[in-house]
Structure formats: C-alpha cells, structure tokens
Amino acid sequence: MYFCTDFKDTVICSKMQRKTLVRILSVLLFIVSFSGIAQEEHAMEVKEIAPGEAGSKTKKEEIKEFINHHLMDSHDFNLFGSTDEETGKTHHYGFPLPVILWDGGLHTFMSSKFHHGESVAESNGNYYKLYHSKIYKTDAEGTINYDEKHHPTNVRPLDFSITKSVVMMLVVGLMLIWLFSSLAKSYAKNGSIPRGIGRLFEPIVLYIRDDIAIANIGENKYKKYLPFLLTTFFFIWFLNMFGLTPLGVNVTGNIAVTTGLAVIVFLITTFTGTKDYWKHIFDPLGDGMPWAGKIFIYIILVPIEILGLFIKPFALLIRLYANMTAGHVVLMSLIGLIFIFKSWIGGPLSFGLSFAISLIELLVALLQAYIFTMLAALYFGFASETHAEHEAHEGEVQHL
C-alpha cells in the first residue's frame, strides 16, 4: 500500500486522488445520462417513419417492444443506426458476429446473412431465420409456424453462436488480464507502490482481501479463494458498467450468465467442503443426541439442509439478474415517458428522473458486484470451516 511521507505530501496526494475520481465520475455520469436517451430516440424515430406501419402500434406498445429488445441478446453488434427520411429505410452501423449452429452437422456463417432478421440464411441446403433474437429452422421463404398461443413451433437448432453478450464477456476478460498484469508489472518496477490508475484499484483489492475474504473465510484459507473472488467482483462490476454505456449491452441481465456464475460458486463450495461441513449437513445436531432421538427430527431437518445447498446459488443468480434487469427496465421506461408526454412539463420531469436513476444505477452496478462476492466468500467460509474453528468462533461470540 502507498503511504505519503509527511503531512504536506498527504494533502497533495489526497487532492490528486480527489481530482482523478471527480474526472472519472463526471465522464461516467455524462455517458450514462445520455446513452439511454440516445438509444430511445433512435428507436422512436425508426418507428415513427417506418413505411406501412403508421397507426399499427401505439406509442406505449412501441416503447415496451424497444425495452424488451434492449434486454435481449443479439447475434450482431449494432453500434447505432440512421434512417433515410425519403425512403424510410434504416441503416445499421456495426459489425456481424459468427453464427455457429449444430443441426445434423456443423453450420457456420456470419450473422450478416440475416440482414437484421429481414432475410433467410442458407447453409448447406438448410434455411434459418432470425426471429426475436432466436434462430429457427425454416424453408426458403422464411415461414414461421405458430401454435394457438402464437408461439413459434419451428425447430430450433443447437446455437453456439458468438453473440453480443459473449463478445462483451471476452472483452471484459481480456481487459482484466491486461489491467492487472500491467498493475503487477508496475508494482514490481516501483517497489510495491501503485502508479496511475493503480491508486484507484489498490484500495478495492485490499478491501476485498481484508474485509471480505479474510473476514469470512479465515486468514489460513483465504488465499486459495481470493483469485476467484477478485476476478468475480471486477468481472461483474465492469459488465454492469458497460451495461450503462451507449453500447446497449445487458450481460448481467441475462439469466444464463448469472446462472453460470452461480454454478461455479456452487461447484467450488461443493468440492472444497470439509468433512465437518458435510457432517453438519447430514448430522446437524452433532453428537449431543443419540441417533434414536434424532432420526425423527432428521426426516425434516436433513432435507431442508440439502435443499439449502441449491437455494444458496439460486439466490445468487436471481438477485443479480433481477436487480440489473429491473434497473434497465425502470430507466428505459422513464426515458420512454418523454415520448409519451411530449410536453414541456413531462419531458424535463422524465429527464430529471432518468438522470437520478442513472446515478443510482452507478451505485447498483458496484453494489451488486460487492453482494455477489460477499455471499460467495460467506459460502466458501462455511464450506472450509473445521469443527475446531467453529468452536473457537462460538467461544468468541459468547465472550462478546
């Protein structure tokens, strides 16, 4: 950790750090405040002048459709778009992503073949159509069949495509590797003194180590869990922050992503659990009561303990998914009110509320990463605790 040598240096360092933090927060607030509005404005313009659709949908339905589209993953990375006022045709600017399907064999092609869902893609004699961000097998005309509830009945091939969410996870992963390898080299060169942006990340790393890992796992066993906890915290935090930018990504609002993170926590907890941990699950009352007296209690108690093994990761994935999704829905809904009111009272009011929610979302992005990491460390602590450590902890609590 970096310490200033005297009081004067401490004041100078404090002022420099405050200026750096103010600049970073100012940029983030500017991006977050206007990114959602820019996306919503573009969507509303496209809907208003699209030929042949006038009057087919109300403004509320268009806003709801756009919010649902924003929450979904996509097979291309669309940065922005523009509409030709004369023809009403929308031009998308971005780049296609690889489509990888398994349908009686491997099918690979670029998502540009779909033309944003307007065309049918052909691969080795099979035809596929992109419908509501999902790929269905169809005929050359792109026919989609529906059931009585208007759900598509076409066959869906196994989809291993590189979607926008996958791209962002790869980008964040590479960013973390570059960032912390650079910090490690900087530490080695400067005698364990952080430089530049390292001054921002060092207190966070130390906090996770001292107040999350050591506090919940213990000083003797925290080291084998610390790399995962640090990676998880920054991975979730960076993904949440990217979700507030004009890129329009919503990775942690994808339940498949949060499920994957929760499954990893579950596997680590399961395979690193001590015999005392498993004994507590299948013999919660310990040796203080004979089995003849415990057997009737365990008929109810043991299934509850086993169910708790799966409730913990389920709570992890639902908490992260629900909070991030709700934040995006509320923010986009408030922005949509601007296009519903279309007045000098409703517009500024909706903008002010959107700005306030954007500020809260910056905090939520950090808070959800913290909560996920904290609970994961808590579960690891339960799994790695021995009987002697448990008794020592109970003695400390009784002493207090």
Task: Tell whether 24 is covered by a domain.
Answer: no
Per the domain annotation, does 275 fall within a domain?
yes
Do the domain assignments include residue 207?
Answer: yes
**Residue with structure tokens 């790929």?**
135
In the structure encoding, which two tokens stand for residue 38, read together? 């820019």
Q: How far is CA 61 from CA 72, 73, 239, in A?
A: 17, 20, 29
378 CB-near residues (< 8 Å, 6+ apart): 216
150 three-state secondary structure: coil
Pairwise pLDDT comparison (13 vs 210), residue with the higher score: 210
Task: Assess whether 181 and 149 both reside in one domain.
Answer: no
Residue 159: burial class (beta carbons within 10 Å; 0-12, 13-18, 19+): middle
Q: How confident is the model at residue 188 (pLDDT cuts 50, 70, 90)?
A: confident
Residue 74 has pLDDT above 60, yes or no: yes
Question: For 362-371, what is the mean pLDDT?
Answer: 94
Task: Please say which residue of 142, 161, 180 terminates a domain.
Answer: 161
176 and 120 share one domain: no
Report the pLDDT value the prediction gives residue 56, as an integer from 0 to 100: 56
The half-sphere exposure of 91 on its side-chain side, counting CA atoms within 13 A, is 7
- What mean pLDDT is predicted for residues 247-257? 87
**Domain identity same for 157 and 172:** no
Residues 378 and 310 in one domain: yes
Lowest mean pLDDT among 45-59, 91-105, 166-180, 349-363: 45-59
Q: Is 127 exposed, middle or buried (0-12, 13-18, 19+ CB in 10 A)?
A: middle
For residue 294, being part of any structural domain is answered with yes
Over the chain, what is the mean pLDDT? 80
pLDDT of residue 52: 39
Residue 380 to residue 316: CA distance in whole angstroms:
14
Clarify whether residues 181 and 121 are in a common domain.
no
Residue 389 has pLDDT above 50, yes or no: yes
Q: What is the pLDDT of residues 212-230, one digit of tens each?
A: 999 999 998 999 999 999 9
Alpha helices in 284-386 (DSSP H): 291-341, 346-384
Q: What is the pLDDT of residues 305-347, one digit of tens each?
A: 999 999 999 999 999 999 998 888 888 888 888 878 777 777 7
- Say whether both 129 and 264 belong to one domain: no
> What pLDDT does residue 174 have?
95
Task: Please list, residue by residue across 259-274, b when 16 or more beta carbons sit within 10 angstroms of its beta carbon and e when fewer do.
Answer: bebbeebbebbeeebb
Considering the domain architecture, whether residues 231 and 126 belong to the same structural domain is answered as no
- pLDDT score recorded for residue 185: 84
Which residues have CB under 8 Å from 137's CB, separation 6+? Answer: 103, 126, 127, 128, 154, 155, 156, 157
Please report whether residue 301 resides in a domain: yes
What's the predicted TM-score (pTM) here? 0.78
Looking at the structure, do residues 241 and 292 belong to the same domain, yes or no?
A: yes
Last residue of a domain, one of 141, 161, 181: 161
Mean pLDDT for 129-155 is 89
**Residue 81, helix vs strand vs coil:** strand
220 and 329 belong to one structural domain? yes
Domain extent, residue 173, equals 166-399
Quick one: 113 and 244 in the same domain? no
Domain boundary among 127, 144, 161: 161
**For residue 256, is it within any domain?**
yes
Name the domain count of the chain: 2
What DSSP line would sit under 205-260, residue for residue?
HHHIIIIIIIHHH-TTTGGGTHHHHHHHHHHHHHHHHHTTSTT---STTSHHHHHH
Cβ atoms 199, 12 nearer than 8 A: no
326 and 260 fall within a common domain: yes
Q: Which residue has the higher pLDDT, 245 or 376?
A: 376
In a domain, 253, yes or no: yes
Please check whether residue 243 lies inside any domain of the structure. Answer: yes
Residues 224, 155 share a domain: no
